[in-house]
Structure 1
């Protein structure tokens, strides 16, 4: 947690207003929501994640409600949110393209998607190993893909990239820790 805490802080910086978090998991981002966040709709398919998040949700000064199970089919009207956040989630969503279109749909015009995701490494040698290991990774880690290209996926969904930082996560093997962190505008 100590290694990724600064990344969670970075990805949550700038969130404002009504927020949708896709892949809420066990709520590790809750501690990093800025004061400008008014409410959070937490999309999380795993009941165990929601149970693990219970103490974090209860301690939060921001109202958090579980509001959906599937990032590819969000139960919200168009233009419902000011911001969205996704942290190490896009790798496991089966129809990631549809999930990103859904996020864009529910964001108000000019709304921002704050993301940190692992994906295809920028170095060809590491990327080759990711392609080799991905079938095993998907079977062992809940469908997690190692080779998704985050920036092109966001652009294909109609987002405009405002900030992008591609790097290797400290302490992680490069094949698992090729991260892309940034902000995209709907």
Structure 2
């Protein structure tokens, strides 16, 4: 059951207030905490896609949000793990089928409130890291207006609040994911 996978993946993280909040939210909500229609707040899966040298990040311009952001979205009934949901979302939204997870370990946790235009009020986002060749052919999905590579140290100005800090933390955690 994917709820068990999410709980196990979260338990593998170092103890922190954020980790404990996620564990409580998922344990209390059960399967509904992972479903788009399970309530106004639910867990989502995302994926930071990097170049092999980790100098560039692939972002999509999110149509509803109106900003550049990592790939991600809702967990689907056929997803077998939170990591598989993240890579599925990244492949769907980037068009890059050769995109591969660096690790099955969680790299980022970020609960964020959503603005009007979304049917839910908050996402409890669980982020992973993937690698793609910068010359891979990208394709824009229905949820996005564009997909583009950016230098990690020169993100566009239209990113959601906190994305720069999240990206920096993910880059810092990468060496621990490949042990």
Relative to the length of structure 1, the TM-score reads 0.29
**Greater relative contact order, per chain length (Cα 8 Å cut-off, separation 6+):** 2
